[in-house]
Amino acid sequence: MTPTRKIIFLLTDIICIAFSLVAAIWLKFNKLEPQHVQYLLFIIPMLTPPGLVCFWTMGLYNRTLRFTSLPDMVAVFTAVTGYSTLKFASIYFMESFPNLSAVFIIDWMLCLILVGSSRIAPRILLNLLELTTVRNWLFSKNNDRQKRVLIVGAGQGGESILREIKRNINLPLEVAGLIDDNPQKQGQIIHGVKVIGNSEKIGTIVRDLMIDEIIIAIPSASGQELRRIVKLCQNTKVRFKTLPGLQDIIGGKLVSLQLRDIAIEDLLRRAPSEINLAEIAAYVTGKTVMVTGAGGSIGSEICRQILPFQPQKLLLLGHGENSIFRTHQELLGNKDTGNTAIIPIIADIQDREKIEHLFAAHRPEIVFHAAAHKHVPLMELNPEEAIKNNVIGTRNLVEASHNAKVERFVMISTDKAVNPTSVMGASKRVAEKILKCFAKRSQTRFVAVRFGNVLGSRGSVIPMFKQQIENGGPVTITHPKMIRYFMTIPEASKLVIQAGSYGKGGEVFILDMGEPVRIVDLAEDLIRLSGLEVGRDIEIKFTGIRPGEKLYEELLTASEGITATRNTKIFIAKAEEVNEEELRAQVEKLEMAAKLGKPRNIIRGFQDIVPSFSPNRDMIHNDKQPRDDRKKEDSQPKLRVI
């Protein structure tokens, strides 16, 4: 409210205060006696300034008139009631003036009506003026027809979108109707717009009402339900948009009319994760936290999720200077940075001496280990690099954490570590075993968190499919029956941090990945969301399973069971026994094979540590068949966490 408007409303309130008291006395006594006038001349000048102070304190002169709503009326009620209480107390000074109690009750009601009306009237006038302007605009611009919109969802999301469209005259939109599958909402009228059918009638309604655009406003819809609605919308050949899901709303990302095109993440929409903020804050706030691989998809997101809990220091450790630079710059501009010292560190976890020096210098109390070589086909071609980074690098960090008496160490693992068929998966399984060994004798709580694919991470199928679609196809898939578990990067990162609060040492936590998704379905959805048709505009080509790949991934070996935690999406795998002396010798042997670059010795080294490892024989020429006497962890039916 501008200074001029504040003055106008100040004068208006003075008139309302004076008039309400005069009118109250008139209504009570049907006349104004000389003693009444004498009282008014005394009480109005004396109590009006305190009344205005009360109004100012309640913020009545700092509110936007265009958006006057219920909270503003509550403020008016509180201010007027406080002022009337002050006037009521003046009775004790006016014993010669009887029946003042009834006068003050009438005065309170009149003052409430007058002051409240002075706040509501401008909004009503503005709305009438806007309505007239819109009508004139419509009649004067017949050639520029407003875009006709159909809103799917008559709940809170649909109501907020409808209200925003009605309020904002700058939006050239006209809501023709609402769609909702709830039978009880059929025929209801919301802000002047009727619920005209369920989702099965979308096609007919779009055609009959000449709809130009569809807005899907069901943030609580599951991925399966949203896919069904999207398919119905796609058949209409008109453009459609959506509101963010509950994950984004809970994260505070939803603002009024924040619409966007449907993304593949929407079609895989999962129920929001239950995150206990108090448990995370208890072990993160005020601590020195190190994140390895901080420039990567998961590592950088862990940094973003940790920052609001205000650690004392956040150490960003990574090998790639560009990615660490980008993460550092982004976090410095984050509103949650506060007093946290964000320190970028360029280092290779394979450099044991450098890692020991960093731990001695910075004394991290919590370590999130997200640095790893993760691309399966590349590690099949370069198995020695998987050993150096995923195994030896992890061992260096674990030993440094143990020596520095780090409180907690959380390693990101993968479902590919279960009954591995790839070098990458086998290397992560060895890393899990290293953690288990140290956990038995260390003060540090070493834990691993095992989960599947994350949407949008660097090198994942989604960015690759999008690039292939932009290039005109074909979209390449290794096998028509290929299925994977998917989780969004923010959800995976939150659950990793939450799991860290549960760890007592040696656990392998498993995240509930939900329902598996066929990669073919994923590709077809992406093609359709791009406004193209499968087969006609973009072809899907099957290239054959790549070295080290499985048709499906698992989260448990047959020898592992699971135990529930306080979080319904986090489980603990049954502990396996690991002989530390034997593992130490086996890892040294594996390290020597990597240094010599002998694939055959590398394979045998992995098989000694992970008997269930079934390597791809085509990648190694002249290699012998695996030994027949090795133990089989996958002799029982394969288990999944669903």
Q: Which of 501, 567, 564, 572 is nearest to 278 (CA)?
A: 501
d(CA 420, CA 22): 88
Please return the burial class of 10, using the count of CB atoms within 10 Å of its CB with bins 0-12, 13-18 and 19+.
middle
Could you count the other beta carbons within 10 Å of the beta carbon of residue 238? 17
Give the phi and the psi of residue 458 in degrees, each rounded to 5: -60, 130
Q: Prior bond to 626 cis, omega within 30?
A: no
Please return the burial class of 408, using the count of CB atoms within 10 Å of its CB with bins 0-12, 13-18 and 19+.
buried
Question: Residue 23 contacts by C-beta under 8 Å, 6 or more apart in sequence?
Answer: 106, 107, 110
d(CA 207, CA 212): 10
d(CA 380, CA 548): 7
Q: Which of 6, 151, 13, 169 is nearest to 76 (CA)?
A: 13
CA dihedral sign of residues 449, 452, 454, 459 = positive
User: What residue type is 335 in one-letter code?
Assistant: K
- For residues 210 and 144, the answer to whether their CB atoms sit within 8 Å is no
d(CA 209, CA 212): 9
Q: Which of 257, 218, 211 is nearest to 235 (CA)?
A: 211
HSE, CB side, 13 Å, CA atoms: give it for residue 147: 16
- Find residue 542's DSSP bridge partners: 477
Could you count the other beta carbons within 10 Å of the beta carbon of residue 340? 20
- Strands 408-414 and 239-242, by their bridges, are unpaired
Q: Known catalytic residue: 624? A: no
- Strands 313-318 and 408-414, by their bridges, are unpaired
Looking at 87, 388, 416, 428, which residue is catalytic?
Answer: 416
Residue 92 per-residue DSSP state: G
Long-range contacts of 605-610, Cβ-Cβ distance < 8 Å, separation of 24 or more: 606/423, 606/426, 606/427, 606/430, 609/426, 609/429, 609/430, 609/433, 609/583, 610/420, 610/426, 610/429, 610/430
Q: Which of 413, 328, 425, 400 is nearest to 370 (CA)?
A: 413
d(CA 411, CA 509): 10
HSE, CB side, 13 Å, CA atoms: give it for residue 32: 10
Catalytic residues: 416
